[in-house]
C-alpha cells in the first residue's frame, strides 16, 4: 500500500510543482460541459463545467470506499504545453464532500467502518490533457483533504485518473 501511495505521489508531483513565473500561458476555454469517469479514490462519475479560465467539477464516487458526493471549484494555473494536437493545463482548487463509508480504509487515513457518515474538504492539484481533434480530455489529480464524522476526524488523500467527453 505504501509503495502504491509513493508511486501516486511521484506521478502527480509535476502537476503539484509550481512552474517558474511566466512559464504558463493563460487559458480561456469556451463555456461548456464535460461528463466522464474517474478511476482511483474515489472511483465514479464526474461532471465538469468549464467557465472560461476556471471550472466547476462535481462528482459521485461509488467506491470511496462507500458512497461520496463532492464538488470543487478549479482555478486554471495555465497551459504548460500547447501543440496542434493537444494542450496540457495545470489547475488547483478547493471543494467540499460528504459521504457514507462501507468497510475498511487505507492505513494512515481516516478511520472508518460500515455506515460511518462524514463531511470534509479537499484541495485538488491536477493536470488535464485536452485533445484538440476530438472532444475528449484526460487528467490526473491528487487531492489532500480532511474529513470528520461519527468516527472522529482524519486525513485523506485522493488520487484520480479521469477521462471526460466534452458536450
**Nine cell digits for residue 109:** 487515513
pLDDT in tens, 10-39: 445 555 555 555 567 777 778 899 999 999
* Residue 71 pLDDT grade (very low, low, confident, very high; cuts 50, 70, 90): very high
| Distance from C-alpha of 49 to C-alpha of 162, rounded to nearest angstrom | 15
Domain boundaries along the sequence of the chain: 2-18+29-166
pLDDT in tens, 90-120: 999 999 999 887 655 554 455 555 667 889 9
Q: In terms of Cα–Cα distance, which of 129, 116, 125, 121 is closest to 156?
A: 121
Higher pLDDT, 89 or 106: 89
- Region 51-66: what's the mean pLDDT? 88
What's the pLDDT score for residue 113?
59
What's the pLDDT score for residue 66?
79
- What are the Cα distances from residue 52, in Å, to 14, 26, 42, 55, 163? 24, 11, 27, 7, 20
What's the pLDDT score for residue 64?
63
Q: With 90 as the cut, is the pLDDT of residue 67 above it?
A: no
Q: What architecture (CATH level 2) is domain 2-18+29-166?
A: Beta Barrel (2.40)
| Distance from C-alpha of 104 to C-alpha of 108, rounded to nearest angstrom | 12
* Pairing state between β 152-166 and 136-149: antiparallel
Bridge partners (DSSP) listed for residue 37: 45, 163
- Record the pTM: 0.79
> Would you call 7 helix, strand, or coil by DSSP?
helix
pLDDT in tens, 120-144: 999 999 999 999 899 999 999 999 9
Q: Do 99 and 112 meet the contact criterion of CB atoms below 8 Å apart?
A: no
Amino acid at each position: 500500500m505504501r509503495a502504491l501511495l509513493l508511486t501516486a505521489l511521484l506521478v502527480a508531483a509535476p502537476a503539484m510543482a509550481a512552474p517558474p513565473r511566466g512559464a504558463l500561458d493563460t487559458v480561456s476555454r469556451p463555456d461548456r460541459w464535460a461528463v466522464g469517469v474517474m478511476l482511483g479514490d474515489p472511483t465514479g462519475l464526474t461532471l465538469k463545467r468549464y467557465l472560461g479560465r476556471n471550472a466547476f467539477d462535481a462528482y459521485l464516487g461509488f467506491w470511496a470506499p462507500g458512497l461520496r458526493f463532492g464538488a470543487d471549484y478549479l482555478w486554471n494555473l495555465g497551459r504548460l504545453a500547447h501543440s496542434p494536437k493537444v494542450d496540457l493545463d495545470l489547475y488547483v482548487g478547493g471543494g467540499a464532500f460528504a459521504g457514507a463509508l462501507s468497510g475498511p480504509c487505507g492505513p494512515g487515513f481516516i478511520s472508518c467502518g460500515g455506515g460511518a457518515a462524514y463531511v470534509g474538504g479537499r484541495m485538488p492539484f491536477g493536470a488535464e490533457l485536452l485533445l484538440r481533434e476530438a472532444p475528449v480530455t484526460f487528467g490526473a489529480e491528487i487531492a489532500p483533504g480532511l474529513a470528520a464524522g461519527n468516527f472522529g476526524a482524519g486525513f485523506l488523500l485522493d488520487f484520480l485518473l479521469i477521462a471526460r467527453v466534452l458536450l
